[in-house]
Amino acid sequence: MLDAKGMDGRSLIRRRAGLRLWLSAGWLTLLCLAALFAPWIAPKDPLAQDLFLGRMPPFWMAGSEPGYWLGTDSLGRDVLSRIIHGARVALTVALVAGVITCLIGATLGLLAGFLRGWVDMVISRLIDIWMAFPPVLFSILLIAVLGPGLISIIIAIVVIDWTRFARVVRAEAMAQGAMDYVASARVAGRGRIGIMLREILPNVLPTICVLLTLEMGIAVIVEAILSFVNLSISTDDPTWGGMISEGRTAIHQAWWVLVFPLITLFLTVLSFSQLGEGLKDRFDPVLR
């Protein structure tokens, strides 16, 4: 039963969801631009050390140094410039790792869910085994094996997180495979791969898109966590996780070294997931 008030509530939810979507997309666009044009935007060289300018507070506080808007870390490096350059690593990881994870995971999930049989058995068993690993420990282990570096991080994320896609897509493909339209396509003489790509995939695609957005947020976090335990890329290169790690040790002396990268990371992760949620609402015919 839908009364007028309920309608208002729903359109309110939709409007709010729309706002969330736009804010998230806005922040991520800003971040992309910052990453692309980092060398031109960043006020200082992110690697330049100046021990005389160590632990300068942000601009509104007493004792701040002009030009260093968000203060400096213990080696006198500009926090703002490092955040801007850190966006490059974060977004590269999000994009590349997210997409590769998505491709591999979704393919395996689709195969398992639609072909069933021994393919499903093998993939499901693999998923079970993967789920029994603590993911953070697994990723740290992989970085230890692969050696630090951007490529290693991306490989580690792909190796660990493909199950996220495989699990969901498998279930979804299974549900779709049981629908009548698949049966009628089979009756019409379509091959199995044809049905999978032309009938099942388009129906699973919205779910995959939502998962991809969420995965990008997760990839950013994993990169930050690995930087935090000093296993990401070389410690000199600016990464948000590395900055947070430094900030954590000097938290009582220079809180801004922790706070600003943390805020950036927080907003980025939140944006990715809100974007995912927003897309989910858009795709959800019940709410539309």
Which residues sit at the interface with another protein, rule CB under 8 A? Answer: 1-6, 9, 125-126, 128-129, 131-137, 140-142, 144-145, 147, 217-218, 221, 224-225, 228-229, 244, 248, 251-252, 255, 258-259, 262, 265-266, 269-270, 273-274, 277
Residues 6+ apart with CB under 8 A from 38: 84, 85, 87, 88
> Which residue number, 45 or 128, has a Cβ lying nearer to another protein?
128
Q: How many helices (H) and strands (E) does the chain have?
A: 11, 0
> Which residue number, 94 or 225, has a Cβ lying nearer to another protein?
225
> Which residue number, 142 or 233, has a Cβ lying nearer to another protein?
142
* Tokens 């991809």 sit on residue: 212
Angle of CA points 89, 91, 94, to nearest 5°: 110
Q: How far is the CB of 192 from another protein (least distance, A)?
A: 27
> Which residue number, 47 or 146, has a Cβ lying nearer to another protein?
146
> Which residue number, 199 or 246, has a Cβ lying nearer to another protein?
246
The CA-based dihedral angle spanning residues 43, 49, 53, 54, taken in that order and rounded to the nearest 10 degrees: 120
Q: How far is the CB of 277 from another protein (least distance, A)?
A: 7
- Nearest in space to 79 (alpha carbons), one of 41, 108, 45: 45
Q: How far is the CB of 119 from another protein (least distance, A)?
A: 17
> Which residue number, 171 or 262, has a Cβ lying nearer to another protein?
262
Q: How far is the CB of 15 from another protein (least distance, A)?
A: 13
What is the CB-side half-sphere exposure of residue 225 using CA atoms within 13 A? Answer: 18
Q: Which residues of 59-81 are buried (b: 16+ CB within 10 A; e: fewer)?
A: eeeeebbeebbbbbbbebbbbbb
